[in-house]
Amino acid sequence: MSAIAGSILVADDHPDVIAALKLLFKGEGYRVTESASPAQAVERVKAEDFDVALIDLNYREDTTSGKEGLRLLADLRTINPDLPVIVMTAWGSVPVAVQAMQDGAGDFLEKPWDNQRLLSIVRNQIALGASRRSEKRLAAENALLRGQAGADFIAESAAMGPVMEMVERIAPSAANVLVTGEHGTGKSLIARHIHRLSDRADKPLVTVNVGGLAETVFESEMFGHVKGAFTDAGKDRVGRFEMASGGTLFLDEIANIPVVQQAKLLRVLEEGEFERVGSSRTQKVDVRVISATNADPAELAKEDRFRQDLLFRLNTVEITMPPLRNRREDIQPLSEMFLRQLSDKYGRENLTLSEAALAALQSHSWPGNVRELGHVVERALLMCSGDEIEPGHLHLAAGDAPLQGLEGLPLEEAERMLVQAALERAGGNIMEAAGQLGLSRSAMYRRLEKYGLKGEGGE
């Protein structure tokens, strides 16, 4: 069974007009609901969502003034402001048509109508309505993200001071920003914070994990495609750059995209233009790009795994997020923030962290950074049956928590201990341990060989 092209409300008091329109629209795959009066049309729209409404301007009251149709237009706009409305009349009254357009009608049509023109108007109005609804959804999501970033952003430590100074300085500009740092340090959160402080704050913030996109869908996801561009392209699709137009595009795990895709990304960053897959029409786009990675792009560029020219485009400004072990002053406020959020989630009121628990959190090495802290607090909340979380509820490994003597050790010995501790936490899984340490696969294996440590591949 083929998909429905859209739902249309047709309001007209002439049965032959209704019959002709139903025959035309159903032949094109539309679902048609009829109404013989303005009152009935109002009830239909109150009870059901339509993609477009096609209404006559003249009914029983009189056949020339269009007053009933204009009242119906106003009623429909009140009930559903996003519903596209097309008005039609047999009298070709220009003043009434102008009034209808001023009152919010999407288009105007005279009877007798031309079938192809009518179908074209309907398609355009349905597409316009869908675009408006999408924009509203994006705006609502963006407002939510802005609220989250402002409410939950904690940066009281000295290590975060330079970061926040840089953010406040560059946020109002249109400069592209590269955010680096270990796994779990809050790179996506700082990207949201930059957007919230920018001149684009009321425009979309679109996030995409480019490192997780398969090569076969990269172009479609980023630039969109047109219907029929490939086997599964059943309809046009808007890409992430187009979604973010006027706003901010956050590209996470940027260092993980293949070199062949990097060239395609470079073009839109250099020229501000692209084509949807399957289309030859070039589109312009105004997007600020914030990207993030836990790798070292400069090192990857030296190894020819990341284009130097793309790196120059991405890191107009580079911000490095410090690991949690370097921002100890933030551990307590972050822990208490997580506890408040999770207490609401699980319905646990009056739950607190004991002084001993806070001390244990302060002494932990936090290889998983802020993300790991959130998981530890959640686990402790679930394990605690009383009103106070104690060190035992945290389940921090004994050999893991202190690592307090690292400052007095030679660099290589300290690194060996950190790698060994990560392997123990990960149960010997090399890739998981590498993720905790913010290392690439090759960098992790080099250290295992260097220090004679063993683990499991974790492939």
Q: What is the CATH number of the domain that holds 27?
A: 3.40.50.2300
* Residues 285, 302 within the same domain: yes
The predicted model gives 201-213 an average pLDDT of 88
- Is residue 244 within 8 A of residue 206, CB to CB? The reply is yes
The predicted model gives 92-117 an average pLDDT of 82
42 pLDDT more than 50:
yes
Cβ neighbours of residue 389 under 8 Å, at least 6 residues apart? 339, 351, 352, 353, 354, 357, 377, 380, 381
150 pLDDT more than 70:
no
Token pair 């398609």 is found at 123
Range with lowest mean pLDDT among 137-146, 233-242, 339-348, 351-360: 137-146
Decide if 136 is inside a domain: no
227 pLDDT more than 60:
yes
* Residues 68, 166 within the same domain: no
138 pLDDT more than 70:
no
- Is residue 178 within 8 A of residue 295, CB to CB? The reply is no
- The Cα–Cα gap between 144 and 136 comes to 12
- The one-letter code for the residue type at 283 is Q
Domain that holds residue 67: 6-130
Length of the chain equals: 459
Better-predicted residue by pLDDT, 400 or 372: 372
The predicted model gives 150-171 an average pLDDT of 86
Q: Which residues pair with 317 in a beta bridge?
A: 177
pLDDT band at 185; cut points 50, 70, 90: very high
Of 320, 340, 364, the last residue of a domain is: 320
Decide if 226 is inside a domain: yes
* Residues 115, 12 within the same domain: yes
Give residue 99's pLDDT. Answer: 84
Decide if 138 is inside a domain: no
Decide if 139 is inside a domain: no
The predicted model gives 310-329 an average pLDDT of 94
pLDDT band at 234; cut points 50, 70, 90: confident
Decide if 1 is inside a domain: no
* Residues 371, 408 within the same domain: no
Better-predicted residue by pLDDT, 5 or 348: 348
Decide if 144 is inside a domain: no
Q: How far is CA 380 from CA 337, 375, 383, in A?
A: 14, 9, 5
Q: What is the pLDDT of residues 341-369, one digit of tens each?
A: 999 888 888 899 999 999 999 989 898 89
- Indicate the number of domains in the chain: 4
Beta strands 205-209 and 352-353, pairing class: unpaired
pLDDT band at 137; cut points 50, 70, 90: low
CATH number reported for the structural domain that contains residue 301 in this entry: 3.40.50.300
Give residue 1's pLDDT. Answer: 37
* Residues 99, 171 within the same domain: no
218 pLDDT more than 70:
yes
CA nearest to 251, candidates 302, 323, 311: 311
Of 372, 394, 416, the last residue of a domain is: 394
Q: How far is CA 30 from CA 7, 23, 43, 107, 208, in A?
A: 6, 10, 20, 19, 34
459 pLDDT more than 70:
no
Q: What is the pLDDT of residues 437-452, one digit of tens each?
A: 777 777 888 888 888 7
* Residues 437, 382 within the same domain: no
Give residue 152's pLDDT. Answer: 57
pLDDT band at 100; cut points 50, 70, 90: confident
* Residues 366, 410 within the same domain: no
Looking at mean pLDDT, say which of 50-64, 68-82, 145-159 comes out highest: 68-82
CATH number reported for the structural domain that contains residue 411 in this entry: 1.10.10
Decide if 89 is inside a domain: yes
* Residues 337, 278 within the same domain: no
Range with lowest mean pLDDT among 62-76, 208-222, 363-377, 392-406: 392-406
Angle between helices 441-451 and 430-437 (to 10 degrees): 100
* Residues 369, 408 within the same domain: no
199 pLDDT more than 80:
yes
Secondary structure, 3-state, the chain = CCCCCEEEEEECCCHHHHHHHHHHHHHCCEEEEEECCHHHHHHHHHHCCCCEEEEECCCCCCCCCCHHHHHHHHHHHHHCCCCCEEEEECCCCHHHHHHHHHCCCCEEEECCCCHHHHHHHHHHHHHHHHHHHHHHHHHHHHHHHHHHHHHHCCCCCHHHHHHHHHHHHHCCCCCCEEEECCCCCCHHHHHHHHHHHCCCCCCCEEEEEHHHCCCCCHHHHHHEECCCCCCCCCCCEECHHHHCCCCEEEEECHHHCCHHHHHHHHHHHHHCEEECECCCCEEECCCEEEEEECCCHHHHHHCCCCCHHHHHHHCCEEEECCCHHHCHHHHHHHHHHHHHHHHHHHCCCCCEECHHHHHHHHHCCCCCHHHHHHHHHHHHHHHCCCCEECHHHHCCCCCCCCCHHHHHCCHHHHHHHHHHHHHHHCCCEHHHHHHHHCCCHHHHHHHHHHHCCCCECCC
* Residues 411, 334 within the same domain: no
Give residue 116's pLDDT. Answer: 92
Average pLDDT, the chain: 85
Q: What is the pLDDT of residues 383-419, one digit of tens each?
A: 898 999 999 899 886 444 444 445 555 667 677 777 8
Better-predicted residue by pLDDT, 104 or 1: 104
Range with lowest mean pLDDT among 63-77, 132-146, 154-168, 227-241: 132-146
Give residue 417's pLDDT. Answer: 75
Better-predicted residue by pLDDT, 89 or 344: 344
Give residue 456's pLDDT. Answer: 61
Decide if 137 is inside a domain: no
Percent with pLDDT over 90 in the chain:
46
pLDDT band at 173; cut points 50, 70, 90: very high
- The Cα–Cα gap between 342 and 132 comes to 35
